[in-house]
Structure 1
Amino acid sequence: MTAYVLVSRSAEYETRMRDLLGDRLAVIPGEFLTFGPESVVSRIPESPRIALLGPVLNYEETKGLVEALTAKHPHLGLIVVREQRSDLEDWVDELALHAVLNPDATDDTTVALLDRLGSWLVGNGHAETGDFDAPASIALSDLERTWDESELEAGVKPPSPATPVEPAPPEWEFPPLEAGVPTEAIAVVAPKGGQGKTTIAINLATGLAEISPNSVVLVDADLQFGDITAALALEPERTIVDAVSDAADDEIVLKTTLTHHADGFFVVASAPSPELGDQIRPGALARLIDRLRATFRYVVIDTTPGLGEHTLVTLEHVTDAVFVTNMGVPSLRALRTEFELLSTVGLMPGNRHIVVNQTDKNSGLTIKDVEKIIGAPVDIEVPKSSAVLLASNRGVPLIHDDVRDPAAKAIRSIVLRIAPEAFPKRSRIQRRRRSNEPE
């Protein structure tokens, strides 16, 4: 019998738990969550006694799993595998869990927790003591015993070893653009490096993909030091160098230069080296943006910091620009200089969105001070949050890693500014309102 089941996206943790629990553990790869929690539950063998959920599962995924597992296995022990975070108390309050386990806990601590929960289940009549025993050795099983000729002649066939179930790759396609629906291109711009521009671009593309699945492309146009693929844990076969080549004038060839992300958008990876990035001419980048707009509903471009030639030509070919700065006075003054220059040369996009990132009440500045320095009103404040770095280290967009984090919520509001039609779906992508929160 399978006593334990693990649903996780961490291959390292899976290997560790297999070594610890052996044949008592069944593992369901977290990739099956692409098809919904029911797809995971349907693959769980027999009736397990304890389920470990995580690590690298977000709140919405965990919530869906808890509900689906509880419905099918009402007496299942549930453990969330997650590190200590400021919002962990909310997870415990809102989900019907039995325990929380830190993924870095020692083997002794992990086994002790499993034993305590197992004893509790047995004591409450939800399990038998023998349910947690290690299975008998397979050496004497039907798979290896000798089958005599009389059995074979009688039609009795030896069982075949079970074939491990591998998750089917999610299917996707390029949906056609609807007639009359305008395409939009959004440049994400910052006066200096280190403002969080790439994080905003990644999460903006992720949010737009929720309302236009597979019709969003994220272009890493930081041609020397772009790191979008690293932040998303992608391994592209082709890059922007291929996307601007003569061969990519063919639409089919262009599509082969894109890398698909599991959250329903495509990525044009940055140049593999600064030297190759320098070879891309501004005009080639402009043509790439225009060609992508002919195929995708939304094109999000992460630009090189400052106002170099490539950033200026990008601003000529977009409908919106998201300007990102932190609360440092040098960055704010540089942003004001950018605004003045763009206004002078007539390159300020019609739709401008100003985002102050990593806001901190201890910075010595208020938002009014910020607005006075840059000479323009601030549209979005994104608070400083450790969840941003954690999500990046996991290779997961913040708004899908921790939907209730304040920074994730602020970035959601940027999505709504770009695509107001996303508003009716907001309840689906935000967390459930708690019973004690005001309407």
Structure 2
Amino acid sequence: MKPFLLISRSAEYETRLRSLLGSRLAVVPGEFLMLGPQTVVERVHHQPRIALLGPVLNFEETRGLVGELTQRYPEIGLIVVREQRTDLEDWVDDLPLHAVLSPHAADSTTTELLDRLSGWLVSNGRAVPEDFEEPPASEVGEVIAALVHGSPDAEPLNEADQVEAGSESQPFEWEFPPLESGVPSEAIGVVAPKGGQGKTTIAVNLATGLAEVAPNSVVLVDADLQFGDITAALNLTPERTIVDAVADSAQDELVLKTALTHHSDGFFVVASAPSPELGDAVASDALGHLIERLRETFRYVVVDTTPGLGDHTLAVVEHVTDAVFVSNMSVASLRAMRTEFQLLTTLGLMPSNRHFVLNQVDKMSGLTVKDSEALVGAPVDVAVPKSSAVLLASNRGIPLIHDDVRDPAARAVRSVVMRIAPEAYPKRTKIQRRWRSNGTE
């Protein structure tokens, strides 16, 4: 019997808690959350009485775990391990928690809180005193997870996790849909000459649409290293970013995958740097290396770039199979796009698969699509009409093609997806609305 369960991304905190609770503690690494909270809870092979969630878990991950744990173990006690921050009150209001514990709390404070919650569970008939006693020596070797942050002293799997009867214990391996034999991985860079062209909107919806035909085999990289806002557009709160993804420690495949944040539409995100200073520290060659490494695992790698043709954007263009160029209908942007095309052609860096998207097409702009083509010197592949639905979807944190599938802009963006994957024909006929954490549509 292991009455205490820890789900955390902090190896340091796990070590502290193990020293306090010993064999009474079961652990599932928080990295499993990229496979969903249900997968994490399925790794729990004992009935826990108290679960500690965190540190280094975001609100959505914590909420998902709370839902799965309370459904499976209605009598469980729940503690969030988190620093005192301004939004802590929102967590307490929205989640059925029993306590909040600072990860920096003294061992005596942690032990006292666990004892108090254990006593409360017993007094309310949710547990019995024997649940919290030290297990017999025969049970000490049983564990919940085989791999804990890659530590060499990870405990062996129990019998339920043996690959075959009588086989040796093996560590859990990350499971992504395997790339089919003969099917190449594709990388798509989304490029714009200036900011404000709608580049991020195209990148987000491109990843969303591709994930429909390759679920969990699409990764969206926010390589706008100074002011990337993909996580804001998707209402995500990542714990790790591209800075972690290109770090030396990320040469380990498992560590690299922990830098990914999963989106409910079936794709992964590498978030932009948390500050311009940290973004500037990401080398352009490291970005190119990251793209190549991701292509070893994912069917599609979509990269949102920094506006213009700086070193990082050029590094992206060098490592992609397709480039989606985005411009609005302003004369300045169209002329800048023409200059980009000429420069990339001169440098020999123009990807063989080029897609020109004319965004925010408006009859009142004074230009036509033909005028835009003349200014750029290249045909427009997809014209996306100006629409208020784009801003509404972004403010909701929902990709446009899943927010209002009948909107003309959504249909046009869908055609961008189909240029990469023709089989990504929309199968949904109704507008999809998603409930958010605040209970509103």
TM-score bracket for this pair, using the shorter chain length:
0.5 to 0.7
In the alignment, what sits opposite 2:371?
A: 369
Match of residue 414, structure 1, among 416, 420, 438: 416
Q: Secondary structure at the match of 1:194?
A: coil
Q: Secondary structure at the match of 1:283?
A: helix
Equivalent residue letter for 1:181? V
Q: If the length of structure 1 is used for normalisation, what is the TM-score? A: 0.58
In the alignment, what sits opposite 2:305?
A: 303
Q: Secondary structure at the match of 1:323?
A: strand
Equivalent residue letter for 1:411? V
Whether the aligned pair in 2 keeps the contact of 1:316 and 1:347 (CA below 8 Å) is yes
| Rounded Cα–Cα distance in structure 2 between residues aligned with 1:345 and 1:175 | 36
| Rounded Cα–Cα distance in structure 1 between residues aligned with 2:383 and 2:424 | 20
In the alignment, what sits opposite 1:241?
A: 243
- 1:321 equivalent in alignment to 2:323: yes
Whether the aligned pair in 2 keeps the contact of 1:191 and 1:325 (CA below 8 Å) is yes
Q: Which has the larger radius of gyration?
A: 1
- 1:198 equivalent in alignment to 2:200: yes
| Rounded Cα–Cα distance in structure 1 between residues aligned with 2:210 and 2:259 | 21
Whether the aligned pair in 2 keeps the contact of 1:259 and 1:267 (CA below 8 Å) is yes
| Rounded Cα–Cα distance in structure 2 between residues aligned with 1:280 and 1:398 | 30
| Rounded Cα–Cα distance in structure 1 between residues aligned with 2:410 and 2:283 | 35
Cα 1:173–1:429, aligned 2, differ >3 Å: closer, same or farther? farther
Residue 174 of structure 1 deviates from its aligned partner by 1.6
Counterparts of residues 17-166 of structure 1 (less than 5 Å): none
Whether the aligned pair in 2 keeps the contact of 1:391 and 1:397 (CA below 8 Å) is yes
After superposition, the CA RMSD in angstroms is: 2.0
Residue 177 of structure 1 deviates from its aligned partner by 1.2
Structure 1 stretches of at least 4 aligned residues deviating more than 6 Å after TM superposition: none
In the alignment, what sits opposite 2:288?
A: 286
In the alignment, what sits opposite 1:229?
A: 231
| Rounded Cα–Cα distance in structure 2 between residues aligned with 1:321 and 1:429 | 27
Residue 173 of structure 1 deviates from its aligned partner by 4.8
Match of residue 257, structure 1, among 245, 259, 267: 259
In the alignment, what sits opposite 1:386?
A: 388
Equivalent residue letter for 2:231? T
| Rounded Cα–Cα distance in structure 1 between residues aligned with 2:375 and 2:429 | 33
Equivalent residue letter for 2:298? F
| Rounded Cα–Cα distance in structure 2 between residues aligned with 1:307 and 1:360 | 27
| Rounded Cα–Cα distance in structure 1 between residues aligned with 2:253 and 2:271 | 17
In the alignment, what sits opposite 1:429?
A: 428
Residue 429 of structure 1 deviates from its aligned partner by 3.2
Q: Secondary structure at the match of 1:260?
A: strand
Residue 422 of structure 1 deviates from its aligned partner by 2.5
Q: Secondary structure at the match of 2:196?
A: coil
In the alignment, what sits opposite 1:398?
A: 400
| Rounded Cα–Cα distance in structure 1 between residues aligned with 2:328 and 2:370 | 14
Q: Secondary structure at the match of 1:306?
A: coil
| Rounded Cα–Cα distance in structure 1 between residues aligned with 2:258 and 2:205 | 23
Q: Deviations over 1:46-96 (max 9, x none)?
A: xxxxxxxxxxxxxxxxxxxxxxxxxxxxxxxxxxxxxxxxxxxxxxxxxxx
Residue 420 of structure 1 deviates from its aligned partner by 1.6
Whether the aligned pair in 2 keeps the contact of 1:173 and 1:214 (CA below 8 Å) is no
| Rounded Cα–Cα distance in structure 2 between residues aligned with 1:430 and 1:365 | 33
Identity of matched residues, %: 76
Q: Deviations over 1:91-124 (max 9, x none)?
A: xxxxxxxxxxxxxxxxxxxxxxxxxxxxxxxxxx
Q: Secondary structure at the match of 2:269?
A: strand
Q: If the length of structure 2 is used for normalisation, what is the TM-score? A: 0.58
In the alignment, what sits opposite 1:131?
A: none
| Rounded Cα–Cα distance in structure 2 between residues aligned with 1:242 and 1:179 | 30
In the alignment, what sits opposite 1:340?
A: 342
Residue 259 of structure 1 deviates from its aligned partner by 0.1
Cα 1:418–1:430, aligned 2, differ >3 Å: closer, same or farther? farther
Residue 181 of structure 1 deviates from its aligned partner by 0.9
Equivalent residue letter for 2:235? A
Q: Deviations over 1:136-187 (max 9, x none)?
A: xxxxxxxxxxxxxxxxxxxxxxx99xxxxxxxxxxx9521111111100000
In the alignment, what sits opposite 2:185?
A: 183
| Rounded Cα–Cα distance in structure 2 between residues aligned with 1:397 and 1:430 | 16
Equivalent residue letter for 2:302? V
Q: Secondary structure at the match of 2:182?
A: coil
Q: How many residues align?
A: 263
| Rounded Cα–Cα distance in structure 1 between residues aligned with 2:376 and 2:325 | 11
Residue 430 of structure 1 deviates from its aligned partner by 4.5
In the alignment, what sits opposite 1:174?
A: 176
| Rounded Cα–Cα distance in structure 1 between residues aligned with 2:253 and 2:416 | 31
Equivalent residue letter for 1:429? R
In the alignment, what sits opposite 1:148?
A: none
- 1:350 equivalent in alignment to 2:347: no
Structure 1: 5+ residue runs without aligned partners? 1-34, 36-158, 161-171, 433-439
| Rounded Cα–Cα distance in structure 2 between residues aligned with 1:190 and 1:400 | 24
Equivalent residue letter for 1:301? V
| Rounded Cα–Cα distance in structure 2 between residues aligned with 1:421 and 1:405 | 20
Equivalent residue letter for 2:243? V
Structure 2: 5+ residue runs without aligned partners? 1-37, 39-124, 127-173, 432-441
Whether the aligned pair in 2 keeps the contact of 1:186 and 1:319 (CA below 8 Å) is yes
In the alignment, what sits opposite 1:45?
A: none
